[in-house]
Amino acid sequence: MAATNSRKSAYTGNAYRQRNQVYIQGNTARKLQVVPSEYERRPVKKNTHAARKNRERALHMNVGYVMFLVTAMVLAGFVLTGYLKLQSDITNSIKHIAQLESDLNTMKLDNDERYSRLTSDINLEEVRRTAIQELGMQYAQEGQIITFNGDDNDYVRQTGEIPD
């Protein structure tokens, strides 16, 4: 009960109590009494002479340890430099491949365009007229066509004369 009375007396005028909660009116927070932490309450230990010597020895590095660290850093530098070079080579290869693919697509489009232009320029009636009139070719007659069964090869070898 004493704690409640002291709390009420501390907030007179600026605070009021409602349902066991304290409301403080105003725009600043009140300073609370800070409880010292366990770290602050602990007694300060005096370091012994042996402990002080051990700490001083731990702070000093010997030559072997320094050389080990330098060697490790140089080795890490070489490994990282090699890694960066490989990464750069991969990036350059990807760019080169993309350029070659672009060139291939350009060549394919150019080839298709030329092919379509050539096929559209061919006049089959002119070819037929030239073959019949200038070269003396004729259409095949009924008895001139010879059919045979092949062995699924892509080409036929003629081993003898074709009879007339």
Q: DSSP E strands: which ranges in 9-162?
A: 15-18, 21-24
| % the chain with pLDDT above 70 | 70
Is residue 149's pLDDT more than 60?
Answer: yes
What's the whole-model pTM score?
Answer: 0.41
**DSSP-assigned beta bridge partners for residue 22:** 17
**Average pLDDT score over the chain:** 79
> Which residues, at least 6 apart from 130, have a Cβ–Cβ distance to it below 8 Å?
none
Which letter, b or e, does each residue of 132-150 get, where b requires 16 or more Cβ atoms within 10 Å of its Cβ? eeeeeeeeeeeeeeeeeee
Mean pLDDT within 84-98? 97
| pLDDT of the residue at 71 | 97
List of E strands, the chain? 15-18, 21-24
What pLDDT score was predicted for residue 130? 92
Residue 61's nearest CA partner among 53, 49, 73, 69 is: 69
Q: What is the pLDDT of residue 96?
A: 97
Instruction: Label residue 120 by pLDDT band (50, 70, 90).
Output: confident
Over residues 5-13, the mean pLDDT reads 47
* Euclidean distance between CA atoms 133 and 125, whole angstroms: 12
Are 24 and 15 in contact by the 8 Å Cβ rule? The answer is yes
AA identity, residue 7: R
* pLDDT value of position 8: 47
Provide the pLDDT for residue 111.
96
Work out the percent of the chain whose per-residue pLDDT is above 90.
34
Average pLDDT of span 125-147: 86
